[in-house]
Amino acid sequence: MNKLFFFILLFSINISMSAQNTISLDQAYQYINSTDGIPDNVSYIKDINNKLDPFIGTWKGSYDNKIFEIKFEKKINDGNSDLFWDRLYGRLLVKNSINGAVLFNSMSNNLADTGVMSGFTFQRNTYMLDFVYKSECNDVGMVYIEKSNNIPNSITLYFNRNSNLIYDMSSQCPNYRDYKTLLPLNKITLTKQ
């Protein structure tokens, strides 16, 4: 009888602790922007409201003589440390719109590879993803995607290049001063395929 009581007590404590260790993506953003950060007892940042689901799929758009195709997939409970996330990953195909030449292709890359967008959290209704293409040319930064309210089956995408690198990188990156990032620095619209 004591063993049964002890087992039920441990099971109840475990369920209680699990519930306390899960927060939503929106809560994660609030914590990240506070001075304390995400509490140590949080182990899972979950897409509780399924806010990531509308982004899942393949999206296409064009800008500045480039055609962009991005395939977003959702990973549940993703991580390998003390903190796990529900997040989006985006694989990218960029082609020259004039001659069709492939400029970049990460469609078959592993999720941890360079050139794959790695999701983070929401800032209001905008989802943020890290992106690294050519770090030596400072072609790294944050990608922001947001569902369009005006156009069904479309999202807007904006790339914000890392502004922390202010030193001259011309020795590492040919034509650094004239270098154009892979993703556009202006907002573009992508349509779901």
pLDDT reported for residue 9? 41
Question: What percent of the chain has a predicted confidence (pLDDT) above 70?
Answer: 85
Tell me the per-residue pLDDT of 74-128, one tens digit each, with 9 for 90 and over.
999 998 778 999 999 999 999 999 999 999 999 999 988 888 999 988 988 899 9
- Please state which of the ranges 27-41, 43-57, 84-98, 168-182 shows the lowest mean pLDDT: 168-182
Whether the per-residue pLDDT at 16 is higher than 90: the answer is no
DSSP 50: -
**pTM score, two decimals?**
0.82
With b for 16 or more beta-carbon neighbours within 10 A and e for fewer, the 94-129 pattern comes to bbeeeeeeeebebeeeeeeeebbbbbbbbeeeebbb
Q: Where are the domains of the chain?
A: 48-192
d(CA 57, CA 94): 16
